[in-house]
Chain A
Amino acid sequence: MEREDNWTTVIQPKERLLHVDFAELWHYRDLCMLFVRRNITTQYKQTVLGPLWYIVQPVLTVLMYMVVFRGIANISTDGLPEPLFYMAGVCMWQYFSDCLGKTSSTFVDNASIFGKVYFPRMVMPIASVLSNLLRFGIQFALFLVIYAIYQIFVIPGQIHTNLYALLTPVLVLLLAMMALGFGVLFSSLTTKYRDLRLLLDFFVRLWMYATPVVWPMSTISNAKLHLAMSLNPLTPVVEAFKYGFLGAGEFSWGGLAYSAAFAVVLLAVGVVLFNRVQRTFMDTV
């Protein structure tokens, strides 16, 4: 009989629950980067405006918010110029919802490729999150342009940017972690029963209204409601972003720590479940 340790590949029905092969994932990093490139380069192939769509979409969204939420509903913008306030929210929220949308359909979208070849399935959602960074980058640049226009020409010196703006990369990381965690959790739950999928769009829309994207935390005077909104792990992230750049909003380290803890737990649960499902999802998807 051969010794056990001679075998380099062992395929069996079930792996240990917490067995996630990170070394293998790292081995496939080139593939991940290629997927990122593919996602980016093929998204707007054969369109006239091409990458300009990255800018058209948020601009239209901001204009719509200005009409609906400010013009009609008259919701406060924390005393900030409307385009700037909405753009900050859109920038953050869009990244989160784009990532969530893409990662939550990982199994269903890639069934044909997953059915033919093995590579760590996590590569796909990670690549989605990374490739959405480009879009975020462009929207963030747009935000900075609008910011610069207001700061320099329109209301010089009245926007109180502070050092917390430097936290932006951390905030984006938190968004990415939460979107990834939630997305893979979701995609694992929906391989067999797709009922939840039908709820996702609705749920994401609701979630946006529960996040200070089109309204500031400061408008909520009811203490209970304020607390409820603070429990949304996205709230501290979006508020911190607005606070850093625009000087208006609520910033608390406690809130951010809560978001971070939430993101870590969510991601861990998501990855473990995803890892479990990936082995047999082909039979049920």
Chain B
Amino acid sequence: MSTAIEFNNISKLYRLGLVSTGTLSHDLKRWWTVNVRRREDPYMKIGEVNDRSSRGGSDYVWALKDIDFKVEQGDVVGIIGKNGAGKSTLLKILSRVTAPTTGSIRAKGRIGSLLEVGTGFHPEMTGRENIYMNGAILGMSKAEITRKLDEIIDFSGCERYIDTPVKRYSSGMMVRLGFAVAAHLDPEILVVDEVLAVGDAEFQKKAIGKMQDVSRGEGRTVLFVSHNMAAVRKLCRQGVVLDNGQMSYIGTAHDAVEKYMLDKNTYNSEVRTIVTPEMRDINRSLKVKFISIEHAKGDNTYAADEDIVLLIEVKSDKSVEHCRINCTIRTTDDLSICTNSSTKYFNIGQGESKRFRYTLHNPGLVVGNYLLSFSVGVGNAEEGETNFDVVTNATSINIDRPRKNEESYFLKWDTFSWGHILMENSLEELSSCDM
């Protein structure tokens, strides 16, 4: 296979704050240093790593810094990362909306970008006119659109409204129409930003299917940015994780998602977790709250058939009766697997602290990392429940060995199609008279 796109040390410097009088003096200084004195740009040196939440000393940040990787032809690459990690900037550079500050991108073939669905739609024009408009903006010729028009209308499922101005469309219909046009583009390289987040389930399925066809069937290269981890896993073969404008991971999509989710959830493998205010859900009464959560065995690795034993400390503000503790196990891509609600209730007095040993029977989790969330509260599904404190992804467990006799199964376990639990079972042959 050959390389389809090559990112060579792409960096992008942004100036923060408003463009105003101060900007001119910076521009003049910059121009003076670079063009007259032939020195390096003074503001490039002081650019800081792009961390959205902390306040930096410099007005300049690197939205992207030294992004360097290659994409094979026919590959589908998922780009993931937090808000502000630089994903959109990277796609913008790739789709030539803006130029990089340093570095270069080289690609083979046309790049079609889809940073938004329905770019250039004019509300006063009909669906049909907008198909032409949008198609042309995305780089198709009029003849090309005419040839594909029926297919596009059919794909969008908006045939009935096609001669109505799009301002009468529902937002979902607009998206369908926009995506239908984009799906019929045929550049060799397709760049897609989270456009699948909208539209109903049926359409999302259709859209994902179309993208799969594009990459598998037609051998085209796709770069896909999304927060939908399931979609990234399903669609992509390769994954790139961006963090504060830098590439923090590159590998298979599965590993990249895993890595990202662990990072995002401030992956906590500590044996004992002291619950801090940031970890709690907001807007909870905290009548009873978690103080600490601890793995009783002294580390967080378990075998698939090993019980998970936790030591939990709670403290109360008011006296409460009939309390229970819940634990939910999630995969690293935020998929809930199972929940346990303690069957035993406890009472707690005002200002009292209590410690519990909380044993969860392992449901047969397959090898991998899992995140545990806890809540404490009263009531049940019938009577309605109230949670006093919820701590999401408080700790993690790492299932590192399969159950005995099931090693071979685990070797090729495919979580995407098979899930995360290997059920226990028995299969008995019945003699004919038993039936």
Contacts and interface: CB of A to CB of B under 8 A. Distances in A.
B139 interface: yes
Contacts of A38: 122, 125, 129, 133
A138 B100 CA distance: 45
Contacts, number: 109
Given A14-B99, A118-B95, A119-B139, A192 B23 contact: yes
A13 B102 CA distance: 6
B99 A41 contact: no
A23 interface: no
Contacts of A9: 105-111
A30 B136 contact: yes
Interface string B84-103: 00000000111111111111
B108 A8 contact: yes
Interface stretch (A73-81, A96-104, A211-219, A277-285): A277-285
Interface stretch (B112-120, B237-245, B285-293): B112-120
Contacts of A14: 99
Interface residues of A, number: 35
B388 interface: no
B95 to A, nearest CB: 5
A283 B15 CA distance: 9
B113 A118 contact: yes
Greatest chain B CB density within 10 A among A11, A34, A116 is at A11
A261 B27 CA distance: 33
A171 B133 CA distance: 31
B401 to A, nearest CB: 45
A20 to B, nearest CB: 15
B108 A7 contact: yes
Interface string A92-133: 000000000000000000000111111100000000000000
22 contacts: A2-B3, A8-B109, A9-B105, A11-B100, A11-B106, A12-B103, A13-B99, A13-B103, A28-B139, A30-B142, A34-B132, A38-B129, A41-B125, A117-B119, A118-B95, A118-B96, A119-B137, A119-B139, A279-B99, A280-B98, A280-B99, A284-B19
Given A11-B104, A30-B142, A113-B120, 10 more contacts: A8-B110, A13-B99, A31-B136, A38-B122, A41-B124, A116-B116, A193-B19, A193-B24, A280-B98, A282-B97
